[in-house]
Amino acid sequence: MRPTIFLSIFGLATLAALPVTAGETDSQAAVPTFNRDVAPILYNNCSNCHRPGEVAPFSLLTYEDAAKRAKQIAAVTQARFMPPWKAEPGYGHFLNERRLTDQQLATIRDWAAKGAPEGDPNQKPVPPKFSNGWQAGDPDQVVAMSQPYSLAAEGPDVFRCFVIPLDAKEDEYVSQVEFRPGNRRVVHHSILFLDNTGQARRREKVPGQGYDCVGGPGLAIAGGLGGWAPGATPMQFEHGIAQIVPKGSDLVMQLHYHLSGKPEEDLSQVGIKFSKAPPVKGLTLLTVGNASIDIPAGENQYVVKASATLPMDAEVIGVFPHAHYLCKDMKVDAKLPDGSVQPLIWIKDWDFNWQGSYRYVSPIKLPKGTEIAMQYTYDNSTANPRNPSNPPREVKFGEQTTNEMAFTFVQVTLDSPGLVADFQRDANAQFLAAVLDGVLDSDELGPQQKTQMKMLLNIFDKNRNGRIDPDERPALVEFLKKMPLR
Ligand code: HEC
């Protein structure tokens, strides 16, 4: 699967690079050199991944490293395949945006086209120093997998959830989280969840060995502690905002491993900083999603829509779109009650391997009644190089890599922590009503949950078409809001 991705990317890249030589008129003086022009770009945008011991397949620290790959570097940057950054500019302004300017792209392109000159040795820049310790300073608590997890040399990617007790005697307020991969050759990304229901603990049959989980740790979660992908920076909340860790919670560390060709072991860690004072703002998630997914084999424009309405004023601080390999395009907008539209994120070339959470530079204030609407498009044809099935087969909602998902986790703050419970009651009711008809066949539900869901469907599916239609949904939402939900 992977070689095809690169082939298609290079197909694009070669085309994009073609005009380079055609209109070249620059004088000799303008030829960029490595020492003066290119090294600073690489050091600021590439070396945090392209250095020894990091995820990228080669280092880009010295002139020799870069010069022998000049053409390839020009091609992958022109195609905006590197640095990896999926969010479309103009749709949300995010922290740590990895995006080269047109000027930087031109510099690299011209440098490669002119034979990649090294330049004046006096201008040689000092390669950046990287700390191997905690990037955000010493944490208050370090938690880790209880034992190393062994991975085979070869095979499909491994998705595993490890359950780590946090041993909080009372509710705690997390102000900063840093994930530190144990073995960067195999850890591709990680998502951190909190579970105070014991569900995850029950699923981990052998303590410390984790359990298989692709989409998430299960349906009921008490919140999240962010995620990590190569190049990510630690998650830090603004003053007055904290993730509350309910006492007795477990941290569920979901790891996506990409096997390296050699047997490997991993023991990843999380460093947490707490704030002593309780938060002054409420922090919670609005989950938007739809589980009615049934993509015919060969279908290349399958659209899944979903929405949820803010039950009170809120500020959006982050967004985490989630789907599997068939999804190509993800768009999430906030539709305000006054009719205006605030774009939240647009990913035009979704890549499951580069998922992550996106945090806004400044919070986006949205009034009560704002509809968060998502539209995801899937390509289940052979033309999709990421399609895990060849020939394509019918794909339904589910947790496996060969299933699909359509979720957007929107991280919001509320005026006070006291509002979180009400917000969650409303948001959970909307979410359950939205996914009810789609999750009925899912293996993720226990027999008891399945019976409950079927009962609800029987009551609220007035026209008996086996689905909760948009006009049937409000009654179900109202009913669920009054139910004691777990
Ligand atoms: C966030 C980490 C990260 C950053 C930042 C990054 N790379 Fe990469 N790069 C990778 C990884 C990982 C790969 C291997 C391919 C993959 O897994 O997608 C890669 C592959 C490449 C390749 C080989 C492509 C291929 O198909 O073989 C080139 C060339 C490259 N990067 C250049 C760059 C340049 C130039 C920059 C900066 C402008 C950069 N990268 C920034 C992680 C990164």
Closest ligand 1 atom to residue 76 Cα is 29
For 390-450, the DSSP string reads: SS---EEBSSSTTSB--EEEEEEEESSGGGHHHHHHHHHHHHHHHHHHHHTT-TTS-HHHH
Nearest CA to ligand 1 atom 15: 56
Name the token pair of 297.
Answer: 């084999």
Task: Look at residue 221 in the predicted model and tell me its pLDDT.
Answer: 59
Closest ligand 1 atom to residue 230 Cα is 1
Q: Identify whether the C-beta of residue 409 lies closer than 8 Å to the C-beta of residue 325.
A: no
**What is the spatial distance between Cα 278 and Cα 275, in angstroms, rounded to a whole number?**
7
The DSSP output letter for 458 is H
Tokens 């022109």 map to which residue? 78
Task: Look at residue 7 in the predicted model and tell me its pLDDT.
Answer: 30
Closest ligand 1 atom to residue 5 Cα is 26
Name the token pair of 341.
Answer: 């539209």
Nearest CA to ligand 1 atom 35: 73
Task: Look at residue 20 in the predicted model and tell me its pLDDT.
Answer: 36
Name the token pair of 230.
Answer: 């190569």
Q: Identify whether the C-beta of residue 178 lies closer than 8 Å to the C-beta of residue 271.
A: yes
The series of mean pLDDT values per 10 residues for the chain, 486 residues long, is: 32 33 48 96 92 86 96 97 92 92 97 96 89 85 95 92 92 94 88 88 90 66 77 87 91 91 96 94 92 95 97 96 93 98 96 83 97 98 93 89 88 95 91 87 75 91 91 93 71
Q: Is the CB of 84 within 6 Å of ligand 1?
A: yes
| Residues ≥6 apart with Cβ < 8 Å to 22 | none
Distance 50 CA to ligand 1 centre (A): 7
User: What pTM, to 2 d.p., does this model score?
Assistant: 0.85
Q: Is the CB of 73 within 6 Å of ligand 1?
A: yes
Q: Is the CB of 75 within 6 Å of ligand 1?
A: no
Strand partners, 426: none
Q: Is the CB of 301 within 6 Å of ligand 1?
A: no
For 346-376, the DSSP string reads: EESS--GGG---EEEEEEEEE-TT-EEEEEE
Q: Is the CB of 289 within 6 Å of ligand 1?
A: no
Nearest CA to ligand 1 atom 16: 56
Q: Is the CB of 191 within 6 Å of ligand 1?
A: no
Q: Is the CB of 56 within 6 Å of ligand 1?
A: yes
Nearest CA to ligand 1 atom 10: 56
Residue 74 identity (one-letter amino acid): A
Task: Look at residue 17 in the predicted model and tell me its pLDDT.
Answer: 33
Burial annotation 121-131 (CB, 10 A radius, 16+ → b, else e): eeeeeeeeeee
Q: Identify whether the C-beta of residue 327 lies closer than 8 Å to the C-beta of residue 448.
A: no
Distance 60 CA to ligand 1 centre (A): 10
Strand partners, 334: 342, 372
Strand partners, 314: 366
Helix (H, G, I), strand (E, B) or coil at 207: coil
Distance 56 CA to ligand 1 centre (A): 6
Closest ligand 1 atom to residue 100 Cα is 38
All structural domains of the chain, each given as residue ranges with its CATH number in brackets, are: 2-123 (no CATH), 141-274 (2.60.120.310), 282-482 (2.60.120.230)
